[in-house]
Structure 1
Amino acid sequence: MNDSQLRRELEKLLPKEQLFTDELSRLVKGCDAGLYRLIPRAVVKVNSEAEVIRLMQFCSRENIPVTFKAAGTSLSGQTITDSILMESGEGFAFSAITDNGKTATFGVSLTGTAANRMLQRYHRKIGPKPASINAAKIGGILANNASGSSYGIQHNSYNTVRSMRIIFADGTLLDTADPASRQAFAESHPELIASLVELHREVTGNEAIRNRIAEKFRLKNTCGYGVNALIDFSDPIEILQHLMIGSEGTLGFISQATFETVPDHRLKATALVYFRNLRDVCQAILPLRGSPVSAAELMDRNALRAVENQTGVPAELKSLPEEAAALLIDTSADDEETLLAQIGEIESAMNHIHTLSAIRFTTDRQLYNLYWSVRNGLFTSAAASRPPQTACVIEDIAFDGAILGDALAEVRELLIHSGYADAVMWGHLLDGNVHFTLFPDINSPEGVDRYSRFMHDLSQLVAVKHNGSLKAEHGTGRNMAPFVELEWGAEIYGVMKRIKSAFDPQQILNPGVIINDDKELFVKNLKNIPDAHPLIDKCIECGFCEVICPSRELTLTPRQRIVAYRRLTGMGDVKRRKQWAEKMNYSFNETCATDGLCAIACPVGINTGKLVKELRWKENGKVAKRMAEAIANHMDLVTATIRNLMKLPHAIARITGYGWMESVARGIYRIGDGLLPLWTRYTPTGSRKICRSIFPAGHGDTPEVVYFPSCVTRSMGGPAFGFTGSEDVPSKMISVLRKAGYTVIIPDGREKLCCGMAFSSKGFRDQAHRKARELNEALLQASRNGELPIVCDMSPCLLHMRETVDSRLRLYDQVEFIHDFLLARLNLRKRPVTVAIHTTCSSAKMGLEEKLYTVALRCAEKVVTPQNVSCCGWAGDRGFFYPELNNSALKPLKHDIGDATEGYSNSRTCEIGLSINSGIAYRSLVYLVDQASE
């Protein structure tokens, strides 16, 4: 079947909008965090079990391989294919919490963090806690038997999943929680059931094999199939269910799973302990296993060196000996007495262990977070410092506690001998599970050969010499499939082959993964990693950024933009390159919000929006630059014009009706084909012109504050549909400041002032820099060279100001200033309303989430924070011209606001999109504060 025929057949099964067969989509959707690149023939997004069943039946009938993908954070090449890639969509992002949080059912498209957020109110969480939990979805967590920093074996998916719904290669659905479904499946699949019964009988009846499996699974182990299911259970359905965990999509598709959750204790304590060397730190593993420890994280000297220059890390890191290592020990409880007792027990257990300093636990939240930031920053720092054009590989091994020190010392020697002396080593000591990074040059034959020799040597050292796990928690994938037989031996590998054949006799489910006899598979189909641009060259394509991107369901995510741009820069043919650039412009450029939230989620801090801005700057023509220059030179005229124009549509709508006016506006928008903005009832009216420079508090000697009303609120800061009253944002801001007893100073020349962000986001650098300089001078003058605090009413502008103006200026967003300075000075009464709040991207970067919530809760009886919304996607003025971006980003908003009747934020433009997509009027937080202080 050729590609055109395949497309036509798939269109019979699923809606066209869920099929992706164009070159760009197949490239960017077909990647994961591993070393490998395969381009799928088609990408299919599925949103229901019925759709999965139809697709599986089609693939089975036509003998076409299919691979499943959730978040694509897989590190070993588990979710790539050159056939059909099936991506789980939003239809599988559902949940049901039962038994007061002790059990919970989640669809496979829900992230681990989203699941834990739902369990938070019950003080529970799911057992697995991979480092990728913010991005990794339940489907991937199950498929890889993810664990993490806690007791991984005790709380991994294998030991905490109670039931699941599975769709097999032939399209059959099994619900393991439903006795009728179990019986029906046993009757419809007697061969599979018989195979599992026979395998159980053979394995348990063979003492050598049974003991070998039991011994291997005392460690974390995700190398090969979870054959411990054959000795842990006798019921074939239970065996089947547990074989599915860690099977990496090679046995069937899990659509949902029910977990037995684990406690999430309220109180936590941690200690950062230093040791002379790796062997010494490994001496702590056995006593800690018998203590009430929730995590014990190893960090070698390279790891500590990678973070020792970061702001806030302990100063003693720099003075540690060359061979030193550290251990971050964590314990938790629900009351102080228990926590203190546990700390004492841990300290007693480690009395005989030699350390470089005394063991000191801390419960101080700031210090606790600092220590964990050191631990969590290891991978970030290591990956960011790797040489150009090298890959970042994270290997994942485990050893028995009794030999851990010697084994890790040998691994370190192997790394040095193999040319990877800069490798960073860290891990979960409680399970003897250690990760390390290495940076092979997979673009050169010499680099690939070096990597190949190292992997063969590592496999011998880990699996043969020390009987360890080649993959403890990252899954087998293509990277370790050639070495599964080496670790397990021919007999048990033969059992694994029989498992694969029993579940998938046609071998169409993720072929090549886990079971593969090609011993060189791990160095085939390697990614080409060009030097595309300094802003993105450190990207390892892990996908952590995707969950927070506003365009993720519309066009591209940051990872996908980087993959597309790397392909573009690698093209030698000029004509082909131009065609590719035109093809990706809408997805890559026009629908990128450039909000920079991707940098927060990215392990190496990449802001893909900066790249997009850079390219916009290069692409701006002479005409566009002249227009930008004219606007910058006549900002007073521009704001005055907008101020007056914004009043007209509302005046007409009040006569003709808002429905009629919006219909006309949509027609004008379509005729303009992207040149004219889209007006809606929630587009604000114009502001009043600010005619004074000083607004006294009205009594005696009062504190002073400089208020900079942004160009947005000076021009379109007025009320919109759903507002009560006619006051604009600047009026409300001045009202609140004066109520708190402040004399308000407005900078001179305010009508011409602009922070420059609007120019910067469109790539007009010169104009952005000039406006920033003008504002800087005005604020220095108004604040007496930084003596007075300065407050701004638009959080995006305030963040941009912090990045561009004089460091002497004390700059505050409205939320921050109200929280830090006004709450104690205002007489606030809670209004009997439920309000929804939105943390803008800039507020998130400035860490204002809690302050926004605190202020809102002082002013309203109930505050709702929508959990599934990050960036609103309005992106300055992009919401006017690409409303589909805003609508896609805020798809969950209407559901998430619950019973809220009012909405509040701190960006006037963001509030437009929030109002459109929620159905309630969003406005500046100062409106709420002003009403509560009346």
Structure 2
Amino acid sequence: MAGMPSNDIYLELINTLSVQIPASRLISDDAKLMAYGTDASFYRMIPKLIVQANSLEEMVFIIQSCSHKNIPFTFRAAGTSLSGQAVSDSVLITLTDNWRDHEIISDGLKIRLQPGVIGADANKYLSPYQRKIGPDPASINSCKIGGIAANNASGMCCGTAQNTYKTVDAMTLVLHDGTILNTAEPESVAQFRVSHDSLLAGIFQLCSEVKNDAVLFERIQHKYRLKNTTGYALNALIDFDDPIDVLTHLMVGSEGTLGFIAEITYNTVIEHPNKSSALLVFSDIESASNAVSILANTPVSAVEMMDGRALRSVAEKAGMPEFMPTLTLEHCALLVESRAASEDELYHQCRTIMASISAFDIPHQVMFTSDPSTVNTLWSIRKGMFPAVGAVREAGTTVIIEDVAFPVDRLAAGVRELQALFDEFAYHEAIIFGHALEGNLHFVFTQGFDSQIEVKRYGAFMDAVAHLVAVKYQGSLKAEHGTGRNMAPYVELEWGSDAYRLMRQIKTLFDPNGLLNPGVIINDDPDAHITDLKPMPKADDIIDRCIECGFCEAVCPSRTLSLSPRQRIVLYREMQRLKHNNESDKYAELEKTFNYLGVDTCAATGLCADRCPVGINTGDLIKQVRTEKYKRFTPIATWSANHFGATTALTRLGLKTNAAMQKTLGEKALSKTVNGLRNLSKGKTPEWHPDFPQANKHVPKTGENRKPKRVVYYPSCASRNMGNEVNSEDTKTLTEVTMSLLERAGYQVIIPKKLEEQCCGMPYDSKGMKKLSKEKSYRLEATLWQASELGKLPVLMDTSPCVKISKEQFTFPLGIYEPSEFVIKYLWNDLDIQQVDETVMLHITCSTRRMGLADSLLNLTKACAKRVVVPEHIDCCGFAGDKGFFTPELNAAATAPLKQQIPQDCTRGFSNSRTCEIGLTHHSGIPYRSILYLLDEVSMAKPSKATPNARDTNKEVVS
């Protein structure tokens, strides 16, 4: 292992790298190093430098530059790994979003993927072909292909037959010297055989050595009958003869210690369209384990085991089967899934499965079902166990999840002895669950590292686990999470000295200077697993449950600009630690950095909460911080809230002035003037661009003639004030379009009284001014309650964020709807739709996603236009209220992937939030409008039907 270079050497490296890599992607700021350097493991190593690689050419340059200066380096994809294999105290190399290319090959039989592709996205690309990649880790919605391959990750249905090792077809990799090998290209392979003949000869020699050693050969065969990711993939030495094939498969599961996987081609597997699940509860672990042995010979796709403690951890959650609270710690459950090509085949498979275990006493069960709601509930039991432990742990502790594999025929005994170890070491909250077909069990427990006594307890516990699993039962210490730093001290214990010697030789062949991810897999320090432990100081009740897993990052609009939710929490925790230790100077310095990175650039959408295993909304924390930060502006905000009509009138005046100046001065002169003022004010005035809206001159009024169907229409303050951009060809404003559409459908439109004074409270809520927000919300609620005749009439709000906050804060039983939900429920039978033969873009706002209405908006758009494109990787546009005006870089970063995804034949886009549409228009190059514009364009009134009121109309759903 290489020694740590001096600071001067790192400065030299930065100078060298800066020749080809922009300074913005060479991270050496202390705060960012801490934030960006954190991963999901319980280890903390702060890099000296983080380099964000944008291309294969840059990656080669970075590797060669580090190698020439003898500086260690580590690769990271998503940072969701759990065992410490993606942290570094030297150079950490991460990937920009430019590593997301994919190619479908042979009608989905294969797929070529770059390492930055998220696992779930790969399956989305394959979905039309009814195929998927083999690996299915629990983190598939967040982890990336680079990490999946480098860790040989598997999952609930993957087993040992469909992991990356078994399904890899080809690979492009970069070795320690910067050499690129593409195993799919004969020319690249031929050149490599010449240039790296000594490496290939060394690999061939290792293969020969193993194949001539019957004892070692048999041990390797035995180890890979189980799930096993401990150490290097020694099975490659006996499975293949060509050193190129051996090399390719050694890279799988090598955790970045042998080279960089720049591209991988998978042989895909069938994704059966028909699935059915059952929950079977047995009286004890022995019965359940015996059932597993029988089920292994039936057409099951997955069998998940959950011990009594695991079941108890989720028993009281909403929606659980009614028998769950009655189960004891002795009970053990199996969650079984079967998949088939047809419903008839699935039916017969389920009968076969249940017949095979008919002799067992099953005191409680949920029979096989394909009902989506029930299936989701059953799998939520399994998926909810890890967060259930995390949610109840003490502040200052972390959640540790380990995964081991026992021989299936000794599974029950292994579980019993693990449970005994939990009792012996006082891990009374520990639970066990896992992939029973492979004997692969996860155990979850909480651990503090704030005292040496606790560290010693953990170390002694892991020693005991290692001897139990690896020695007594000849199992695997790491079945699917990767060796990392956590199991590196135990690799030799599990494999034996002769096999470990082979691993050392492999490391030396590929990495002669020991620079690639040192300390991972091969580590001479017996205490490596209890060194560099991550502190988890108590910081705030909102975030104390965070385990820094990183599941939140994929949906965060600011993740490429400043910080992700995980990174915000990392820095906030450090600030609280500094405050607690009275390190005021360091605290003040970090707070100054955090004000922009953490607070100003957070959209506070709450999307992170939907991805978080324990439901943490980091936006709530940031709003809390903003409460203090914006306290001095409270008098101004209070005046605006109490004089909202005047505030909105001033807004319209400003928009009118802008439009007049744009027409008279021209865009170039106006931009220079307004944005020059913004520079002088240090960002306190809004940024101007040509897609600024003009004022809305239309004033919606209550319909004069009473009709059988009535609706309350509440135009948001954004749509009341803002029309379309000055140069728009659309002359109608959103309020005009909405009124036209409702009247066409035969509705009398009721506009709430004192409309100009009304606001949902969102502008104040986003700045942490909760009192003002609730005051505005309660006033609006009272107004709408009266306008809707005490909740009898539905209320249409034309902007989705207003609907979301109103649903959250209102207490009266009001029926509040955003546009697509209202149209589907109330207008659909009153309109004839003539679908346009056109390709349109659709932006599904974060508020729509959080309300669970994404499908409603998508289905409505598909009913109106033949081709609908929902761009990838834009879960939130980052306009975030007024941040699109005052922090425009957030909007730009969040929508960066948009323009390149717009088809050439597409000339417009749609959404359901007026402010979002401003930013989308600006960054896409095509106009974005409310979905109501499209519906207004393609719809005609049907012959009227006599209905007493809106609630009596047919509620047919768009399909």
Which whole-Å deviations, capped at 9, do the CAs of 1:8-49 have from their partners, x for residues lacking one?
233234222210011011111111111111111100011122
State the partner residue of 1:922: 928
Query: 1:714-733 alignment to 2 at 5 Å?
Result: 714-716=720-722, 718-720=723-725, 723-733=728-738
CA contact (8 A) 2:136 2:158 kept: no
Among 503, 517, 527, the alignment partner of 2:534 is: 527
Q: Which residue, 150, 158, 161 being the options, matches 1:151?
A: 158
Name the CA distance, whole Å, in 1 between partners of 2:386 and 2:134: 22
Pairing 1:819–2:807 present: no
- For the 8 Å contact 2:312–2:329, the answer to whether it is kept is no
Change (3 A) 1:94 1:725: closer
Deviates more, 1:722-731 or 1:675-684: 722-731
Q: Report the counterpart of residue 696 of structure 2 in structure 1.
A: 687
Matched, 1:846 2:851: yes
Is 1:712 aligned with 2:712?
no
Q: 1:913 aligns with which of 914, 919, 942?
A: 919
Give the match's secondary structure for 2:689: coil
Distance verdict in 2 for CA 1:210–1:387, change over 3 Å = same
Q: 1:721 Cα deviation (Å)? A: 5.1
Q: Please report how far the alpha carbon of residue 867 of structure 1 lies from its aligned counterpart in structure 2 after TM superposition.
A: 2.1
Is 1:54 matched up with 2:64?
no
Is structure 2 residue 256 aligned with structure 1 residue 256?
no
Tell me if structure 2 keeps the 8 A contact 1:865–1:897: no
1:36 aligns with 2:43: yes
Shift in Å at residue 664 of structure 1?
4.3
Give the letter aligned to residue 140 of structure 1: G
Task: Decide whether the 8 Å contact of 1:69 with 1:87 is kept in 2.
Answer: yes
Q: Give the letter for the 1:919 counterpart.
A: G
Q: What's 1:630 paired with?
A: 639
> What is residue 110 of structure 1 aligned with on the other side?
117
**Deviations, residues 114-148 of structure 1 (Å, cap 9, x unaligned):** 11111111111111011111111111001100000
Kept in 1: contact 2:700–2:751 (CA 8 A): no
Residue-by-residue CA offset, 1:476-515 (whole Å, 9 max, x unaligned): 0010000111111111111111111111111111111001
Show CA shifts across 1:258-294 (max 9, x none): 0001111112111111111222211222222222211
Equivalent in the alignment of 2:650: 641
CA distance in 2: counterparts of 1:791 and 1:534, whole angstroms: 36
CA distance in 1, matches of 2:301, 2:665: 65
Distance 2:323 2:838 in 1: 51
Distance 1:181 1:524 in 2: 42
Aligned residue identity for 1:838: H
Give the whole-Å Cα distance in 1 for the aligned partners of 2:426 and 2:739: 64
Q: Which amino acid letter does the alignment assign opposite residue 589 of structure 1?
A: V
Distance in structure 1 (CA, Å) of the matches to 2:316 and 2:829:
38
Give the total of aligned pairs.
929
Q: Does 1:889 align with 2:894?
A: yes
Say if 1:267 and 1:333, in contact at 8 Å, map to a contact too.
yes
Q: Secondary structure at the match of 1:338?
A: helix
Q: Equivalent of 2:592, from 560, 567, 582?
A: 582
Q: Report deviation, 1:625.
A: 1.0
How big is the shift at 1:654?
Answer: 4.0
Distance of 2:476 and 2:369 partners within structure 1: 34
Look up the SS of the partner of 2:172 in the other structure.
strand
- Name which of structure 1's ranges 134-143 and 735-744 shifts more when overlaid on structure 2: 735-744
Contact 2:698-2:733 at 8 Å conserved across structures: no
CA distance in 1, matches of 2:627, 2:743: 42
Q: Is the 8 A contact 1:101 1:124 kept in 2?
A: yes
Counterpart of 2:688, as a letter, is W
> Identity over aligned residues, as a percent?
42
Spell out the pairing of 1:849-864 with structure 2 (5 A cutoff): 849-864=854-869
Quick one: structure 1 residues 359 and 801, their matched pair in 2 at CA, closer, same or farther if it must change by over 3 Å? closer
Alignment of 1:56-135 (within 5 A): 56-135=63-142
Pick from 296, 301, 304 the counterpart of residue 303 of structure 2. Answer: 296
Aligned counterparts of 1:604 and 1:253: Cα–Cα separation in 2: 33
Residue 617 of structure 1 pairs with residue 627 of structure 2: yes
Higher deviation after alignment, 117-126 or 139-148: 117-126
Query: Among 588, 611, 627, which residue is 1:601 paired with?
Result: 611
Q: What is the TM-score with the length of structure 2 in the denominator?
A: 0.95
Contact 2:714 2:796 in 1 (8 A): yes
Deviates more, 1:303-312 or 1:164-173: 303-312
How far the C-alpha of 1:373 sits from its partner, in A, is: 2.0
Aligned to 1:781: 786
1:285 equivalent among 262, 278, 292: 292
Residues 551-570 of structure 1: pairs in structure 2 closer than 5 A: 551-570=558-577
Task: Point out the more displaced range, 333-342 or 588-597.
Answer: 333-342
What's 2:472 paired with?
Answer: 465
1: CA distance between counterparts of 2:341 and 2:902? 31
Letter in 2 for 1:695: G
Give me the whole-angstrom Cα distance separating, in 2, the residues matched to 1:537 and 1:252.
36
- The answer on 1:410 being equivalent to 2:443 is no
SS of corresponding position for 1:799: helix
Kept in 2: contact 1:56–1:171 (CA 8 A): yes
Q: Which moved more, 1:581-590 or 1:184-193?
A: 184-193
Distance (Å, rounded) in 2 between the aligned partners of 1:83 and 1:725: 56
Among 217, 222, 226, the alignment partner of 1:215 is: 222
Is the Cα contact below 8 Å between 1:277 and 1:325 reproduced in 2?
A: yes
The offset of 1:788, in angstroms, is 2.1
Give the C-alpha shift of residue 652 in structure 1.
Answer: 3.8
Aligned residue for 2:279, secondary structure, equals strand
2:844 is the counterpart of 1:803: no
Equivalent position SS for 2:775: helix
Counterpart in the other structure of 1:188? 195
Residues 678-701 of structure 1, C-alpha deviations (whole Å, 9 max, x = no match): 232322222235363x225x5x75
CA contact (8 A) 2:310 2:433 kept: yes
Distance 1:897 1:404 in 2: 53
- Native 8 Å contact 1:32 1:80 kept in 2: yes
**CA–CA distance in 2 between the matches of 1:803 and 1:73?**
32
Question: Which one of 213, 230, 234 corresponds to residue 227 of structure 1?
Answer: 234
Contact 2:700–2:736 at 8 Å: present in 1 too? no
Matched, 1:900 2:909: no
In structure 1, C-alpha distance between the alignment counterparts of 2:319 and 2:713, rounded to whole Å? 32
Task: Find the residue that maps to 1:162 and give its secondary structure.
Answer: strand
Deviation at 1:418, TM superposition (A): 1.2
Amino acid at match of 2:938: A
> Which residue identity does 2:693 align to in structure 1?
P
Question: Retained in 2: the 8 A contact 1:391–1:540?
Answer: yes
Q: CA deviation at 1:809?
A: 1.8
Question: Which residue is equivalent to 1:276?
Answer: 283
Deviates more, 1:72-81 or 1:719-728: 719-728
The separation in 2 between residues aligned to 1:817 and 1:374, in whole angstroms, is 33
Q: Is 1:454 matched with 2:461?
A: yes
- 1:95 and 1:578 mapped to 2: Cα distance? 45
Equivalent residue letter for 1:928: L
Cα displacement string for residues 177-228 of structure 1 (whole angstroms, at most 9, x for unaligned residues):
1222222222222221121111101111111100001001001000111101
Aligned to 2:679: 670
In the TM superposition, residue 656 of structure 1 has moved relative to its aligned partner by 5.2
Gaps of 5+ in 1: none
Instruction: Measure, in 1, the Cα distance between the counterparts of 2:812 and 2:251.
Output: 56
2:744 is aligned with 1:739: yes
Q: How does 1:864-883 map to 2 (within 5 A)?
A: 864-883=869-888
Given that 1:684 and 1:720 are in contact with CA atoms closer than 8 Å, whether structure 2 keeps it comes out as yes
Say which SS state the counterpart of residue 227 (structure 1) adopts: coil
Distance 2:390 2:512 in 1: 41
Candidates 835, 852, 860, aligned match of 1:830: 835
Query: Residue type of the partner of 2:613?
Result: P
Q: Aligned partners of 1:75 and 1:203: how far apart in 2?
A: 31
Residue aligned with 2:712, SS = strand
CA-based RMSD of the aligned residues comes to 1.6
Q: In the aligned structure 1, how far is the partner of 2:140 from the partner of 2:550?
A: 11
